[in-house]
Structure 1
Amino acid sequence: MTNKLYKKMLTTLFLITGTFVLLMMLVNQTFIGKALGKLIDEMLVSYFYDETAGIGVSIVDWPRFKMFFIIVVIVLLLLISGITFLVTRNTLKKELGELGKAIPEFMKKDDRELLEEYPELGYPLVEVRNNHQLAEELYRKETQRTKDMITYLAHDLKTPLASMIGYLNLLCDIQDLPLEKREKYLAIALEKGDRLEELINELFDVVRFDLDSMELHVRDIPVQLLLDQMTEEFYPMLQEKQQRVTLDVAENLVLTADPEKIARVINNLLKNAVYYGHVGSEIMIEAKQSAENRLIIKVSNEGNTIPEKELGMIFEKFYRLDKSRSTKSGGGGLGLAIAKEIVHAHQGTITAESKEGLTTFTIELPILKET
C-alpha cells in the first residue's frame, strides 16, 4: 500500500506541476498575462537615459529579481504541496476504505488479488487470518469438549443415582425384607452413593484444573514411602483382580513437590493400570534418578496394546480409551488429564507408550524445587 501511495503522490505532483505550467503559458497569451508582464517589468526593471549614448537604457534589478524569484518558488511549492496533500489524503482515505472492506472477505477466503494489490500487508494478513482460523477451531473443539463433558457426566451421575434410589425404594416398600437382603441392598446403595460422590468430585475437578495457575504446597517427599503407601491403598482392588505390584525404587530418593498432588498423579496411574490390566497380571513401578538430576517414575501394566493414534489422545479431558467401560470401573475421563496438569505445574513431563501388551507411563520431575 505504501509503494502504491508513493506512486500516486508522484503522479499527482507531476500532474499539478504540468497543469500549472500549461496554465501559465495560456495566461501569458491573454490580457491578464500581458498586464502581469507589465507589472513584473515595472517591479524588476529599472529605466534611465544614457546622455552619452543619447538613448534610453533598461536594466534588471537583480536584488529585486532574486527576491521575487524566491517568493514565487515558495508560493508555488506551498500551493503544490497543499494540493498534493489534499489529493493524497483523499486518495489514502479511499484506499483505507477499500482495504477495510476487503479485509473481512480476505479473512474468510484466500484472496490473491488483495495480496497482489497490497504486498506489504501480505504476510501480516496471512498470519492474522491463520491465527483467527486457529482460534475458531480451538473454540469449536473446546465447545464440543464441553458438550461431551455434559453428556458424559450427566449419564454417569444419573446411573448410580437411579440405582441408589431404586434400592432405597425397595427397602422402604418391602417391610418384611429378609435381613440378609436388606444388608445387601444397603451395601449396594452405599456403593452407588460413593460412586456418585466420586463423580461429583470429578465435576469440581473440571473447574479446578482448568485454571491457568495451580497453587502448590511443596515439601520434601521420601519417594519410597510415598509409593509404598499408594500401593497399600490399592490392595483391595488388586485382590479383586488377582493382580500384584512390584516396586523397584532407588534408595534415599527425595522429591521436592506438593505431596497431595503427586499422590493424586500416582493414584490415577495406578487406577488406570488396575482397570486396564489383565486379571492376574503384574503392575510394575520403577523410580530412579536420571543423570540430569530428575526423578523418573514409570508405571507399567500388562494389558491390551493401545493403538498409536490413541496414545496422543489419552491425556485429553473426557477421553475414554474404552468407551464401553461401565461407570463402575470408569471415571469421567479426567484422571490422566488431571495427572498431566499436575505434572506440568511441577515443571515436569508425562508420556505414554504401549508395545506388545505392555503399557508404560513415564513421569519426569525435577528432584529439587527451582528457586
Structure 2
Amino acid sequence: MTADSTQKKQLVSAVLKRQVLYIAGFTAGFAAALWAFLTFFKPFVSDILYAFVGQSWTLYSMVTVLFWPLVVICYFSGIYLVVRAGVNQAFRYFDLLLASVESILAKRDEPVSLPPELAATALALNQVKTEQDRAERAAKAAEERKNELVAYLAHDIKTPITSIIGYLTLLGDSPDLPVDVRARYTGIALDKAYKLEELLEEFFEITRYNLQSIPIERSRFDGALFCNQVIDEFYPLAEGRGLSLSYAGPAELEVFADAGRVARILNNVMKNAVAYADAGTEVAVHTALATGADGFVWWQITVTDRGRELSPAHLERIFEKFFRADEARASSAGGAGLGLAIAREIARAHGGDIYAASDAGLTSFTIWIPQGPSVAVRAPSAS
C-alpha cells in the first residue's frame, strides 16, 4: 500500500468516525430530550395546548396527531445539520493543506503542522520543505562558487595574456635576436596561448553550465575503436608527463550509445587521470560488456591511474559541480571542477552512472552505459 492510499484511508476513516460519533451523539441527545419531554413535560404541555385550542377536543386531537411526524422531521433535520457540519469540518482539511503549501512557498521558518489524521501529509510536506531549503542552499553555494571561479579564471586569464604580449613585444622590438632565443620566446608565447585557450574553454564551460538538458541520441558503433581513438588523443599530454597509456579489451565491441556524449565522459575522466597520475606510471583503459544478475547488459569502461589516494570524503564529493581535488587556483592540474560532474550527468542521461574508487593510490573511474532493452534499470554498484 502506497503512502498516498494510506493517507487517504486514514483521512476517510477519521471523517467517517467523526460523522458516526456526531450522529450517535445527536441521536442519544435527541432520544434523551424526547424521553424527558414525554415523562416530565407532556402533561403540562398538553394542558396548555388544550387551553390554546379553546378546549376543543377535536382540534386538540388533530394537533396531537402531528406530534410524531414533527418528531421525525426534527430528528432528520438535526441529522442533516450534523452531517453538514461534519462535511464542512472535512473541507477544513483543504484549507489547512492550502495554508501549509502557502507557508512552504512563502519560505516561512516554522514547520508544517496538521491534525493527527493528516500526519503522513504533514511529514511529506515537511520533507518537501526540508529538501527545498537544502536545494536552495546548495544552489546558492554553487552560484557563489561559480562566481568565485569566474573571478579566479578572469584573474588567471590576465597572466598568460601579459606573458604573450610581453614576449611578442620583445620579438617585435628586437628583430636581431638570435634564432635560438627567438625560437625560445616563440615557444613560450605559444605555450601561454595554449594555456589561455584552456582557461577560456573553462570560462565558457562555466557560463553555459546546464546539466539538466542533455539530449541523448544513440547509435551503434565499435566501442573498442572508440576507446582507442580517445586514448590516442591523450598521447602527447601523457608523454609530456612521462605517463604510458594502455588499452585492455576486445578488438571489436558493438555498443549502443551517444558516441559524442560518451566521448565527453571518457575525455573528462582521462583528463583527470592524466593530470593526477604519478609521473612514470600507467593510465589504463579497460572496456567490456558486463551482464548483471538480472541478465541486463551494460557497457563498462574503466579508467585506472596510480597517484595520490583519494579519501572516502573526497570520493563522495568528487562528482559535485565546481569541486576540485586541488583547491589551489593556480594549480596547472586544477580545472573548473565541472569535468566529472558533467561526466556523471551524461552517464545518468543515458540511464547509467559513473563510480569512483581509490585504494592504496590506485584510483579507478568506472562508467556504466545500459545496453539492454530498458534504460530505466539502475546501474550496478561499483565494486
TM-score, reference length from structure 1? 0.77
Q: Does 1:29 align with 2:33?
A: no
State the 1:308 CA deviation.
1.4
1:17-56 correspondence runs (5 A)? 18-19=32-33, 22=36, 25-26=40-41, 28-29=43-44, 32-35=48-51, 41-42=57-58
State the 1:139 CA deviation.
2.3
State the 1:223 CA deviation.
2.0
**Residue-by-residue CA offset, 1:293-327 (whole Å, 9 max, x unaligned):** 33221110011111112212111111112212635
Contact 1:257 1:369 in 2 (8 A): no
Which residue of 74, 77, 81 corresponds with 1:76? Answer: 74
- Name the structure 2 match of 1:201: 204
Taking the aligned partners of 1:308 and 1:40, their CA distance within structure 2 comes to 101
Taking the aligned partners of 1:98 and 1:39, their CA distance within structure 2 comes to 59
State the 1:218 CA deviation.
2.4
**Residue-by-residue CA offset, 1:322-370 (whole Å, 9 max, x unaligned):** 2126353222111111111111222222111111110111122234676
Q: Which structure 1 residue ranges, 5 or more long, are not aligned?
A: 46-60
Contact 2:168 2:189 in 1 (8 A): no
State the 1:26 CA deviation.
4.0
SS of equivalent residue, structure 2 residue 322 = coil
1:1-371 correspondence runs (5 A)? 2=15, 3-4=17-18, 6-8=20-22, 10-15=24-29, 18-19=32-33, 22=36, 25-26=40-41, 28-29=43-44, 32-35=48-51, 41-42=57-58, 68=66, 71-81=69-79, 84=82, 108-109=110-111, 118-160=115-157, 162-167=158-163, 169-170=165-166, 176-177=173-174, 180=182, 183-184=186-187, 186-207=189-210, 209-211=211-213, 214-291=214-291, 292=295, 293-324=297-328, 326-367=330-371
Taking the aligned partners of 2:335 and 2:57, their CA distance within structure 1 comes to 104
SS of equivalent residue, structure 1 residue 35 = helix
State the 1:36 CA deviation.
6.3
Taking the aligned partners of 2:215 and 2:98, their CA distance within structure 1 comes to 45
State the 1:247 CA deviation.
1.0
Taking the aligned partners of 1:255 and 1:336, their CA distance within structure 2 comes to 22
* Alpha-carbon spacing, 1:4–1:306, altered in 2? closer, same or farther (3 Å): same
Contact 1:314 1:336 in 2 (8 A): yes
Taking the aligned partners of 1:20 and 1:224, their CA distance within structure 2 comes to 92
* Alpha-carbon spacing, 1:172–1:242, altered in 2? closer, same or farther (3 Å): closer
* Alpha-carbon spacing, 1:41–1:74, altered in 2? closer, same or farther (3 Å): farther
Q: Which structure 2 residue ranges, 5 or more long, are not aligned?
A: 1-13, 376-383
C-alpha RMSD of matched pairs (Å): 3.8
Contact 1:311 1:352 in 2 (8 A): yes
Taking the aligned partners of 1:81 and 1:9, their CA distance within structure 2 comes to 6
**Residue-by-residue CA offset, 1:219-243 (whole Å, 9 max, x unaligned):** 2221222122212211121111100
* Alpha-carbon spacing, 1:249–1:176, altered in 2? closer, same or farther (3 Å): same
* Alpha-carbon spacing, 1:85–1:341, altered in 2? closer, same or farther (3 Å): closer
SS of equivalent residue, structure 1 residue 290 = strand
Taking the aligned partners of 1:110 and 1:350, their CA distance within structure 2 comes to 37
Contact 1:268 1:339 in 2 (8 A): yes
Give, as a single letter, the amino acid of the residue that structure 2 aligns with 1:220. R
SS of equivalent residue, structure 2 residue 305 = strand
Residues paired across the two proteins, number: 344
Taking the aligned partners of 2:98 and 2:364, their CA distance within structure 1 comes to 54
Taking the aligned partners of 2:207 and 2:56, their CA distance within structure 1 comes to 93
* Alpha-carbon spacing, 1:90–1:135, altered in 2? closer, same or farther (3 Å): closer
